Amino acid sequence: MPAASTQFGPPRHLPAPAAACPQHLEQAAGFGQWWYDPQTGVTHLSPTAAEYLEMPTRSASGLGVCLGHVVEDDLPELIRLWTGAQPQHPLDIRVIGLARGLRWLRVTPLPTDPARPRWRHGLLQDVTALTHAAVRERLGYALTEYLIGTHTLEDAISNVIQLICRNLGWEWGAYWNMEDGGGRLHCRHFWHQPDARLEQFSAVSSTLKMAPGEGLVGRVWATGSAEWVEDMSTDPRFLRRGSAQMCGLWSGYVFPVTYVSDNGERHRPGVLEFYSSLARQPEAQLPKVSATIGALIAQTAQRLETEAVIHRLAQIDEMTELDNRAHFYAQLNRHCALSHRKGRRFALMFIDLDRFKPINDAFGHEAGNAVLQAFAQRLRELAPPPARVGRLGGDEFAVLVPDSGDEQALAALADAVLAAASRPISYEGVALTVSASIGVSRFPENGQTGPELLRSADAAMYRVKQNGRNGSNVFSTSSPDTLAQQRAKLAQRLSIETELHEALQTGQLRLVYQPIVDIATGALHGVEALIRWHKPDGTTVPPDVFIPIAEQSDLIVDIGRWVLGQALRDLASLKGSALQKLKVHVNMAASEFTSSALPEMLGAISTGLEVPASQVVLELTEGMLMRQPEQVRRVMHQLREIGFEISLDDFGMGHSSLAMLKSLPISSLKIDRSFVRDLATGERDRAIAQTIVDLGRHLQLEVIAEGIESADQLEVLGQCGCAFGQGYLLGRPLPLPRLIESFLDGRSAADTPARVPAWKPPCPAPAVAVPPMPTAAAPCTRPLRLARA
Ligand code: C2E
Ligand code: MG
Ligand code: MG
């Protein structure tokens, strides 16, 4: 056999046409040529053809020699073509050589040369790149079809393994991923060509577990890079060497399935491995193919993720991640049906947050959302599955408590929910507080269906709201009328709360002042600042209506701050006038008096406006004292230290003990107007008034009687020794300029004390009549007078 040479074409004795094609032309055009003599069995190859077939020689007798690197499966057909035993059309074959791994060649027979009819002649082209592109395209198409139809990634992957094996000529393929909670990789799916005897290899693979970094699979998982294994039976990284050898597996390719999801997170769901019984060399196309597979799996994973999100959104309340209304209702109905069948009981807890709306209004929706999310999280922790927790909308939540036979456990859960609601929620440095009202209904006693149970729990909850909120209540039958009334009241209260917030922002609140006079001298002793709410529609809302509502939310703190600021600004405006030393009484709400920030805040206002603290008398009621005595007392002492005076309002209505009164840093008592009303006729009330006056004298407190409407009442109070009085008789509440006008009318001296007529003229000095103090409701029955100095 002639040695391979660089001479182009068949030996010299061959006809000219073949020799006419120069070697460089053949290489540039990407083909080689072969000639075969069927009589002698000799094959001649052009240099390019020899290179394609990885043949060291260009001539050989015997096809087995020159086609030695052709994949066995492709040989029979190739030989038929080579020898002219089959129709003459092109054939693609695979060649595996040491130098270039697996490649695809296209063998195209050429027509017989009439001059040399014995010789078979043809072309060889390297179509590896084309074939790979076609395979990738075919594979990609088939994979897409599989992945589109799948509902889980796992299902898709077992199909993907088959496809890759069939298209890329691997005999065995598998997918490995992390076992649940185990921290080790296991062979999740495997597949082999049906005619290959690879059961033993599959069995070994399916029992093997690898830690990340262990074996070839573990290593690929850990590094995220693909690996080739050229000889499975000797490669020390390959843990299944013995089994591979036994089953005749030789080489393979292992690559990670990775993708990056929309949020930028890199996912590595698993590792794919493919093995062949051929000694395949690293193939340049495989990284591209595995990238295509990774991308397709990524698309599928993302689609599945999106589907999961859509599914979740249909059931989950986005803000709190609890069951949404529709899903909770569906679960509740399902639970009713199930409990009915199994004869079980369960409870439904309906929870409504108190004072949530004012937080939303005052601090904004972000703050409101923070409250809802924090409370939802607390609820989830308190009622883990199988309980179901849902947000029914706004600030309404519900908990389905299965198998709730245990009364005590249910009561404990309700208490825990109340405690969880009232734990402050921190938002941008502010501690927001709410509370909860809970209504509980039970299956089957309070309802057989979801809507019935919800109605009962809702009714029980409204009763809690009605009774001052922050509590829980188990449903008991209540008339629908009462319920309707309760709802109407609640709705009215909520609307007042909203409007009040706006009123504060838009200047609908005003202060009026009512005189407090020295009964003996008729002198103006001080004024009480009383708030008025004039709505834009011309109506006014009395403080008795809106103050208790404001007290149930943090609004009262803002209102209180406004009242104090306004009252002190008004006082400051009196500087240099006859009333510059006037004392102003300001009513305080309970929640203001428990705030340790009050003294500092008040001190700052009085310093800022240069109004001495001693001109400000803070009124608080006995009731406030009783609620949190220690805290209130502490604040009272601090206020007194700064110089503010404190007056106990509506005295006689509460239950303050003598001992308590003695210990309080107060400077005056105001006899409640209910005792003044029947003073002229009722002996009992007269005795009470006398007792309060005596008490004040002993404790060295000023006593002021409220609500004096008649001269008789004033007379009796004077007889009792009551020093100061306030009431329509002495003056109705008026805006400050009008009050001043009434008092200072006709005066010139700046420092003359203002006076009102005493019940009995204190001295014969002639008094100057001042005009009556007009009000819209009723004219003042007795004109105020200003005594001349
Ligand atoms: P209060 O502190 O006991 O105020 C006295 C109330 O008696 C005032 O009612 C006043 O207009 C009314 N009054 C005065 N003289 C007479 C009279 O001769 N006969 C009758 N029947 N009533 C008289 P008003 O202004 O409606 O205030 C009611 C309550 O609202 C106040 O009772 C006080 O507790 C509260 N309030 C008023 N302004 C404020 C405020 O700025 N802040 C706070 N927290 N509460 C306020
Ligand atoms: Mg008062
Ligand atoms: Mg009062």
Q: Is 514 touching ligand 1 by the criterion CB < 6 Å?
A: yes
Pick from 50, 55, 43: which is nearest to 26 by CA? 50
Q: 659 and 733: one domain?
A: yes
Residues near ion ligand 3 (CB < 5 Å) are 649-650, 706
Q: Look at residue 259 in the predicted model and tell me its pLDDT.
A: 72
Name the least confident of 132-136, 333-337, 394-398, 502-506.
132-136
**Cβ(60)–Cβ(68) below 8 Å:** no
Looking at 75, 96, 126, which one is the last position of a domain? 126
Q: Look at residue 784 in the predicted model and tell me its pLDDT.
A: 27
The band of 485, judged by pLDDT with boundaries at 50, 70 and 90, is low
Distance CA 495, CA 652 (A): 34
In a domain? residue 20: yes
Q: Whose CA is nearest to atom 33 of ligand 1?
A: 587
Q: 726 and 660: one domain?
A: yes
Q: Is 57 helix (H, G, I), strand (E, B) or coil?
A: coil
Looking at 90, 108, 126, which one is the last position of a domain? 126
Distance CA 374, CA 167 (A): 54
Selected residue with higher pLDDT from 135 and 42 = 42
Q: Judge if the upstream peptide bond of residue 386 is cis by omega within 30 degrees of 0.
A: yes
Pick from 743, 754, 701, 691: which is nearest to 723 by CA? 701
Two structure tokens written together for 178: 């992390």
CATH number, domain containing residue 475:
3.30.70.270
The band of 286, judged by pLDDT with boundaries at 50, 70 and 90, is confident
Instruction: Give the ligand whose atoms come closest to the C-alpha of residue 513.
Output: 1
CATH number, domain containing residue 189:
3.30.450.40
Name the least confident of 342-346, 494-498, 609-613.
494-498
Q: Which atom of ligand 1 is nearest to the CA of 708?
A: 18
Q: Which atom of ligand 1 is nearest to the CA of 729?
A: 18
Instruction: Give the ligand whose atoms come closest to the C-alpha of residue 550.
Output: 1
Q: 120 and 141: one domain?
A: no
Q: Which residues contact 232 (CB under 8 A, 6 or more apart)?
A: 238, 240, 241, 244, 245, 249, 250, 251, 252, 275
Q: Look at residue 132 in the predicted model and tell me its pLDDT.
A: 78
Q: Is 547 touching ligand 1 by the criterion CB < 6 Å?
A: yes
The band of 459, judged by pLDDT with boundaries at 50, 70 and 90, is confident
In a domain? residue 491: no
Residues near ion ligand 2 (CB < 5 Å) are 587, 619, 649
In a domain? residue 89: yes
DSSP 645: E
Distance CA 257, CA 514 (A): 82
> How many CB atoms within 10 Å of residue 769?
13
Selected residue with higher pLDDT from 2 and 330 = 330
Q: No. of H helices and E strands in the chain? A: 28, 30
Two structure tokens written together for 550: 């404001």
Q: Which atom of ligand 1 is nearest to the CA of 542?
A: 26
Q: Is 672 touching ligand 1 by the criterion CB < 6 Å?
A: no
Distance CA 87, CA 608 (A): 110
Pick from 615, 639, 633, 641: which is nearest to 529 by CA? 615
**Cβ(389)–Cβ(383) below 8 Å:** yes
Q: Whose CA is nearest to atom 22 of ligand 1?
A: 707
Amino acid at 749: A
pLDDT tens for residues 194-252?
Answer: 878 899 999 999 999 999 999 999 999 999 889 999 899 999 999 999 999 999 999 99
Pick from 636, 644, 666, 669: which is nearest to 516 by CA? 669
Q: 88 and 196: one domain?
A: no
Pick from 723, 356, 350: which is nearest to 516 by CA? 723
The band of 776, judged by pLDDT with boundaries at 50, 70 and 90, is very low
Q: 287 and 344: one domain?
A: no
Q: Judge if the upstream peptide bond of residue 444 is cis by omega within 30 degrees of 0.
A: yes
Q: Whose CA is nearest to atom 43 of ligand 1?
A: 587
Give the residue numbers spanning the domain of 632. Answer: 500-671+722-746
Range 48-55 average pLDDT: 88
Range 376-399 average pLDDT: 92
For residue 424, pLDDT over 80 is answered with yes
Q: Look at residue 298 in the predicted model and tell me its pLDDT.
A: 66
Q: 571 and 551: one domain?
A: yes
CA of 619 to the centre of ligand 2 (A): 6
In a domain? residue 697: no
Q: 136 and 195: one domain?
A: yes
pTM of the model: 0.46
Name the least confident of 133-147, 317-331, 439-453, 747-761.
747-761
In a domain? residue 530: yes
Q: Is 592 touching ligand 1 by the criterion CB < 6 Å?
A: no
Q: Whose CA is nearest to atom 15 of ligand 1?
A: 727
In a domain? residue 31: yes
For tokens 């493919």, what's the residue?
A: 274
In a domain? residue 717: no
State the average pLDDT for the chain.
Answer: 82
Q: 270 and 388: one domain?
A: no
Q: Look at residue 17 in the predicted model and tell me its pLDDT.
A: 45
Q: Which atom of ligand 1 is nearest to the CA of 709?
A: 18
Q: 564 and 609: one domain?
A: yes
Two structure tokens written together for 209: 């577990």
CA of 766 to the centre of ligand 1 (A): 33
pLDDT tens for residues 64-117?
Answer: 778 888 888 888 889 888 887 766 788 999 887 766 667 889 999 988 777 778
Q: Whose CA is nearest to atom 46 of ligand 1?
A: 587
**Cβ(99)–Cβ(54) below 8 Å:** yes
3-state secondary structure 483-521: HHHHHHHHHHHHHHHHHHHHHHHCCCEEEEEEEEEECCC
Q: What does DSSP say about strands 616-621 and 645-651: parallel, antiparallel, or unpaired?
A: parallel
The band of 472, judged by pLDDT with boundaries at 50, 70 and 90, is low
Using a 10 angstrom Cβ sphere, with 0-12 exposed, 13-18 middle and 19 or more buried, the burial of residue 300 is buried
Q: 585 and 618: one domain?
A: yes
CATH number, domain containing residue 44:
3.30.450.20
Pick from 434, 436, 433, 457: which is nearest to 445 by CA? 457
Q: 522 and 613: one domain?
A: yes
CATH number, domain containing residue 506:
3.20.20.450
Q: Is 587 touching ligand 1 by the criterion CB < 6 Å?
A: yes
Q: Look at residue 303 in the predicted model and tell me its pLDDT.
A: 77
For residue 763, pLDDT over 70 is answered with no
Domains held by the chain: number: 4
534-547 b/e (C-beta count within 10 Å ≥ 16 → b):
eeeeeeebebeebb
For residue 529, pLDDT over 90 is answered with yes
Using a 10 angstrom Cβ sphere, with 0-12 exposed, 13-18 middle and 19 or more buried, the burial of residue 402 is middle
pLDDT tens for residues 650-694?
Answer: 887 665 666 677 888 999 999 988 889 888 887 888 888 898 899
Looking at 280, 312, 344, which one is the last position of a domain? 312
Q: Is 588 touching ligand 1 by the criterion CB < 6 Å?
A: yes
Q: 209 and 137: one domain?
A: yes
In a domain? residue 552: yes
